[in-house]
Amino acid sequence: MSDLLSIGMSGLLAYRRALDTVSHNIANANTAGYSRQRVELASRPGAGTGYGYLGTGVDVATVRRLGDDLISARMQTDASAYGRLQTYHGYASRVDSLLSDADAGLSRPLQGFFDAANALSQDPSSTAARQTLIGAADTLAARMRDTQAQLDAMDSEIDTRMRATVDEINTLSQALADVNREIVQGYGNFGGQPPNDLLDRRDQLLQELYSRVGISTSAQADGSVNVYVGGGQALVLGSEATALGVAADRYNSGRLDIVHAGGSRITAQVEGGALGGLLDTRREVIDPARARLGRIAAGIVETVNAQHAQGFDANGQLGADLFAPLRGAAFAATTNGGSAQVDVGFGDPGAFGDSDYELRYDGAAWTLTDLRSGGTVPLTGSGTPGDPLVGAGLELQVSGAASAGDRFLIRPTVSAAGGMNVALSNPSQVAAAASTASGDNGNALALAGLGNIGVFGGGTQSLLSAHTALVSGAGMRAQQAGMQLDAQAAVGNQTLAERESVSGVNLDEEAADLIRYQQAYQAAARVVQVADTIFQTLLQAAGR
């Protein structure tokens, strides 16, 4: 009698747990990251008798979390790739729009300057034509400054977003460390049974971390997971999280570095996710656009001023600078022991590049290294005002005393366009003539032709073609990023669909299970009822 009652009760308890689990699945059908759970039932050990083993009922063996570790890993790497591309494409598209816009771009004012010079060549004595040329030069310079300002604003925005993203990473890392601790406790408190909902929370936190930065993970025997970032620096170890931070770079150039505990800089090792996308955007989109824009600005200033100096103005004087000379930027390393400062001027446009450089002093001589190629740039001169260091189209003047090991970050063109200004305001100072002869238009014609003559790359690229390359390069980069983003979105959706097929809650299936377990529960209740009826019958028989 007691066996029958025990068997019935075991069924009631087991199917009650099954109904609880199905209800839990239905309640979390729309919960992000939730994995469907299923009760695994196991028959109790049989009771031996002289005529064989009799069943003793059923137990809940475990509540299994349905999932596939390989699919989860793919979802995480998909999130990292998508987070990077989404950020990258957003900025690449903005830069493309800025540079290619017919009204706000550089194309019209650049061509307009050369058109104004051509118009002056047709009436070289016209004060109005001279004033028009100065106005066109001023419009071009203003558009250069505005474009530089917008690119600079994007660069500052990237720094702001880097700070915010690092804060988000730290918040998620701490939350993951807390969940790790709860998971370890959960396994320990219930005989090694998995705390399924905590495991879902852990995977969801990992997914969010991956979307913000590329990480690697290592599952531990106690159920926790360790997380590493960059070149293997620990972000989460068990229940302990290590915060990332941001700090000024080694040159105080206004740029931020990502730092790990103890101040170690890991910027170069960070990749993937939104943070990696911000860093890649800065390296591959914003900086090149600013450097190439500055290269064009410096090329215009040096070429136009050089040509203008060969002509004669309305007063018979040699032409003065039409544009104010530009200066590059130099930043001293924070570890420098000397007091030296470096002034960056421009020389031969044919040698201009769009790289940054490191200038290093070894105690006896200066060395200039191209930071893009890693190659050493030949230098001449001593660095004094009368004998500047000359290399890569730059003229570097060193003031103050340098110590051995001192370094400087040289960024010649990255901000040069922001300093472009017109130096002339008097129309009579425009040098339209190639000689002092009345009506001479030779220099105006030469100025008008500067847009199409070879200036950069040793004379292989003109000012106008350099601008075309800048615009087309930005457009190509934005287009490629868009295609990659769409492709990654498709891959991510496919992986998500695979996950849903394995781990997602199907309400039709759950409804069917609900009916099935309800019927099983009712049948088990009937067993208990039958046991009670038999027991009552025995009591009545014994009482007669």
Using left for φ > 0, alpha for ψ between -120 and 50, and beta otherwise, residue 286 falls in alpha
Supply the DSSP string of 295-339, one letter for each residue.
HHHHHHHHHHHHHHTTSB-TTSPBP--SBPPP-BEEEE-TT--S-
Task: Look at residue 161 and tell me whether its pLDDT is greater than 70.
Answer: yes
Residue of 202, 204, 212, 205 whose CA lies nearest to 164? 212
CB-CB contact of 83 with 212 (8 Å): yes
Task: Identify the bridge partners of residue 237 per DSSP, sorted by sequence position.
Answer: 240
Whether residues 44 and 143 share a domain: the answer is no
Q: What is the rounded radius of gyration, in angstroms, for the C-alpha atoms of the chain?
A: 37
Which domain range does residue 102 map to? 82-163+281-311+318-485
Whether residues 147 and 101 share a domain: the answer is yes
The answer as to whether 306 is a domain residue is: yes
| Phi, psi angle pair for 329, to nearest 5° | -110, 140
Task: Look at residue 416 and tell me whether its pLDDT is greater than 60.
Answer: yes
Question: Residue 133 is which amino acid?
Answer: L
Return the minimum-mean-pLDDT range out of 51-65, 338-352, 353-367. Answer: 51-65
How far is Cα 285 from Cα 411, in angstroms, rounded to an integer? 16
Q: Give the mean model confidence (pLDDT) for residues 305-318.
A: 96
Question: Residue 30 is which amino acid?
Answer: N
Binned at pLDDT 50, 70 and 90, residue 157 comes out as very high
How far is Cα 499 from Cα 170, in angstroms, rounded to an integer? 27
How far is Cα 198 from Cα 187, in angstroms, rounded to an integer? 11
How far is Cα 294 from Cα 143, in angstroms, rounded to an integer? 12
Of all residues in the chain, the percent with pLDDT exceeding 70 is: 99
Task: Look at residue 532 and tell me whether its pLDDT is greater than 80.
Answer: no
Whether residues 475 and 516 share a domain: the answer is no
Task: Look at residue 1 and tell me whether its pLDDT is greater than 70.
Answer: no
Whether residues 300 and 426 share a domain: the answer is yes
How far is Cα 295 from Cα 293, in angstroms, rounded to an integer? 5
State whether residue 360 is helix, strand or coil: strand
Whether residues 367 and 300 share a domain: the answer is yes
- Distance between terminal CA atoms of the chain? 20
Q: What is the pTM of this model?
A: 0.90
Residue of 340, 359, 354, 343 whose CA lies nearest to 393? 354
How far is Cα 357 from Cα 345, in angstroms, rounded to an integer? 14
Residue 183: the pLDDT is: 95
Mean pLDDT of the chain: 93
Q: Identify the H or E element spanning 510.
A: helix 507-542
Q: Identify the H or E element spanning 408.
A: strand 407-411
Binned at pLDDT 50, 70 and 90, residue 135 comes out as very high
DSSP 8-state assignment for residue 282? I
The answer as to whether 226 is a domain residue is: no
State whether residue 370 is helix, strand or coil: strand
Whether residues 36 and 153 share a domain: the answer is no
Whether residues 86 and 61 share a domain: the answer is no
Q: List the structure tokens of 101.
A: 């816009």
Whether residues 15 and 107 share a domain: the answer is no
Residue 188: the pLDDT is: 83
Q: List the structure tokens of 393.
A: 């189209």
Q: List the structure tokens of 34.
A: 């939730």
The answer as to whether 264 is a domain residue is: no
For 182-213, the pLDDT digits (tens) are 999 998 887 788 999 999 999 999 999 999 99
The answer as to whether 423 is a domain residue is: yes
Adjacency order of strands within the sheet including 225-229? 215-219, 225-229, 233-237, 240-241
CB-CB contact of 404 with 361 (8 Å): yes
The answer as to whether 254 is a domain residue is: no
The answer as to whether 183 is a domain residue is: no
For 46-74, the pLDDT digits (tens) are 887 777 778 888 999 999 999 999 999 99
Residue of 422, 122, 447, 452 whose CA lies nearest to 312? 447
CA distances from 221 to 13, 187, 198, 235, 388 (A): 31, 11, 16, 19, 64
- The residue assigned the tokens 């990251």 is 33
Domain count, the chain: 2
Whether residues 323 and 402 share a domain: the answer is yes
Binned at pLDDT 50, 70 and 90, residue 2 comes out as low
Residue 544: the pLDDT is: 57
Whether residues 517 and 469 share a domain: the answer is no
DSSP-derived pairing of the beta strands 357-361 and 366-370: antiparallel
Q: List the structure tokens of 271.
A: 């990749």
For 493-509, the pLDDT digits (tens) are 999 999 999 999 999 99
For 245-265, the pLDDT digits (tens) are 999 988 877 889 999 987 899
Adjacency order of strands within the sheet including 394-399? 341-346, 394-399, 389-391
Binned at pLDDT 50, 70 and 90, residue 172 comes out as very high
CB-CB contact of 431 with 372 (8 Å): no
Residue 535: the pLDDT is: 73
How far does CA 363 lie from the centroid of its chain? 39
Whether residues 339 and 398 share a domain: the answer is yes
| Phi, psi angle pair for 112, to nearest 5° | -60, -35
Q: Give the mean model confidence (pLDDT) for residues 313-317.
A: 94
Whether residues 477 and 510 share a domain: the answer is no
For 67-125, the pLDDT digits (tens) are 999 999 999 999 999 999 999 999 999 999 999 998 889 999 999 999 999 999 999 99
Task: Look at residue 540 and tell me whether its pLDDT is greater than 70.
Answer: yes
For 434-480, the pLDDT digits (tens) are 998 888 999 999 999 999 999 999 899 999 999 999 999 999 999 99
The answer as to whether 481 is a domain residue is: yes
Residue of 5, 114, 2 whose CA lies nearest to 528? 5
Residue 56: the pLDDT is: 85
Question: Residue 414 is which amino acid?
Answer: V
Q: List the structure tokens of 383.
A: 């660095």
The answer as to whether 189 is a domain residue is: no
- The residue assigned the tokens 């410096």 is 298
For the chain, give percent helix, strand, coil, nearest 5.
Answer: 55, 20, 30
Residues 6+ apart with CB under 8 A from 500: none
Residue 254: the pLDDT is: 80
For 20-45, the pLDDT digits (tens) are 999 999 999 999 999 999 999 999 99
